[in-house]
């Protein structure tokens, strides 16, 4: 990989490798298509309410083109270990509701102007209804957890919901703070992103009754995949076209979010460059052209490339976590989805 003046990251992969990674999401969708249809039906039923604003607002985000990656991981994990029951359908739905609820809350906190290429719910209906509908989805998720008849499942998913909130609060405390360390950054993204990936996979092992070794392996796979996923997202915020992310380029920069590319650039920068980061990120005194300057500094310091290299590292750890499982189509799909998550950078 190498940075370019246009703010893109260039892959060392050939086109065949890149295309293979990009089609992984299609193979995953095909693998779980039957069960995913059941999940989608359950989503529609459980977000229904006599208060019409609730399904209208929730449906705005749920139907906005997300890939449903997290619930698909629950279904694929169940296939991986040969689970033949149906409790994972409700749990996959719960995972999607938790994810959607956190997005609704995030848009209010971050004052986002774009989500998946559409105007976010809070800009259409207002902050109060958006927060309350997020709370409604959390409640529906807890109902679905209880219906699994597993206290362990309830503990895992309820714990994940709590950790996600902790991660968002922790991110607020690190905003504008250029002394944030890489370890603290990893703590933030593990909490706000990776923990739900981990829980989505782990609960399949629990309802299948496969034991601690399987549950731990699925948890590790999801956790490391989630870290890799967020690392790529944070790099893309400085080099992707809007169509790739479905959000504005430079959102993190404008909001003063201290992500790994900035942490590395600040650490490696000259005194003059550090003054730029202090003005734009710590004090949020931004001027026209500052985002272009920020991207240029990130490229000069190779921080976007290095962020993606770290994503590759965690992606390899995710793949290693699946080593205990026998080969089958689900395992291959879960291995390939790691490449898909990282290939978004290219």
Q: For residue 239, what pLDDT is reported?
A: 80
Q: Is the pLDDT of residue 247 over 80?
A: no
Beta bridge partners of 115: 118
Of 31-35, 65-69, 112-116, 337-341, the least confident: 112-116
3-state SS, residue 259: coil
Q: Is the pLDDT of residue 224 over 80?
A: yes
Tell me the per-residue pLDDT of 197-216, one tens digit each, with 9 for 90 and over: 999 999 999 999 999 999 99
- Which tokens belong to 187? 């703590």
pLDDT reading at 12 higher than 70: no
Please state, in angstroms and rounded to a whole number, the distance separating the CA atoms of residues 311 and 231.
6
Of the candidates 316, 321, 320, which has an alpha carbon nearest to the alpha carbon of residue 339?
316
Q: Nearest-5° angle of CA 60, CA 138, CA 341? A: 65
Could you tell me the residue ranges of all domains in the chain?
15-343
Interior CA angle at 195 toward 64 and 99, to 5°? 20
pLDDT at 10: 40
**Terminus-to-terminus CA distance in the chain, angstroms?**
9
pLDDT of residue 117: 58
Question: Does residue 305 register a pLDDT over 90?
Answer: yes
pLDDT of residue 21 exceeding 50:
yes
Enumerate residues 6+ apart whose C-beta is below 8 A from 182. Answer: 260, 263, 264
pLDDT value for 343: 85
Q: Are 261 and 303 in contact (CB under 8 A)?
A: yes
> Mean of the pLDDT values across residues 288-313?
96
pLDDT at 124: 85
pLDDT band at 242 (very low <50, low <70, confident <90, very high): very low
Which has more confidence, 206 or 17?
A: 206
Q: What is the mean pLDDT of residues 125-139?
A: 93
Q: What is the pLDDT of residue 160?
A: 97
Q: Is pLDDT at 108 greater than 80 in this prediction?
A: yes
CATH of domain 15-343: 1.10.600.10
**Mean pLDDT on 235-247:** 66
CB 203 within 8 A of CB 156: yes
pLDDT of residue 123: 86
Look over the chain and give the mean of its residue pLDDT values, rounded to a whole number. 89
Work out the percent of the chain whose per-residue pLDDT is above 70: 88
Mean pLDDT of 100-115: 80
pLDDT of 251 reads 87
The tokens describing 254, both together, are 């404008």
């Amino acid at each position: 990989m190498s940075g370019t003046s246009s703010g893109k990251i260039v892959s060392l992969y050939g086109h065949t490798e890149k295309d293979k990674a990009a089609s992984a999401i299609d193979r995953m969708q095909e693998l779980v298509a039957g069960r995913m249809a059941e999940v989608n039906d359950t989503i529609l039923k459980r977000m229904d309410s006599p208060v019409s604003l609730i399904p209208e607002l929730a449906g705005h985000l749920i139907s906005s083109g997300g890939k449903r990656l997290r619930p698909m991981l629950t279904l694929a994990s169940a296939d991986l270990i040969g689970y033949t029951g149906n409790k994972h359908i409700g749990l996959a739905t719960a995972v999607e509701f938790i994810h959607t609820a956190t997005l609704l809350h995030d848009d209010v906190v971050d004052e986002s102007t774009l989500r998946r290429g559409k105007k976010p719910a809070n800009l259409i209906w207002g902050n109060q209804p958006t927060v309350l509908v997020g709370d409604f989805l959390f409640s529906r998720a807890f109902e679905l957890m209880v219906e699994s008849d597993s206290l362990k499942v309830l503990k895992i998913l309820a714990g994940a919901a709590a950790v996600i909130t902790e991660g968002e609060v922790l991110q607020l405390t690190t905003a504008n703070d250029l002394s944030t360390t890489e370890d603290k950054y990893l703590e933030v993204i593990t909490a706000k992103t990776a923990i739900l990936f981990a829980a989505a996979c782990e609960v399949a092992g629990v309802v299948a009754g496969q034991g601690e070794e399987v549950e731990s392996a699925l948890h590790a796979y999801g956790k490391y995949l989630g870290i890799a996923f967020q690392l790529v997202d944070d790099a893309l915020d400085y080099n992707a076209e809007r169509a790739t992310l479905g959000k504005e380029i430079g959102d993190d920069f404008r909001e003063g979010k201290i992500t790994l590319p900035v942490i590395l650039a600040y650490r490696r920068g000259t005194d003059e460059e550090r003054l730029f980061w202090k003005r734009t990120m710590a004090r949020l005194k931004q001027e026209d052209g500052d985002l272009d300057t920020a991207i240029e500094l990130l490229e000069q310091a190779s921080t976007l490339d290095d962020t993606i290299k770290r994503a590759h590292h965690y992606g390899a750890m995710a793949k290693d976590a699946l080593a205990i499982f026998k080969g089958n189509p689900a395992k291959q799909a879960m291995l390939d989805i790691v490449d898909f998550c990282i290939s978004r950078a290219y």
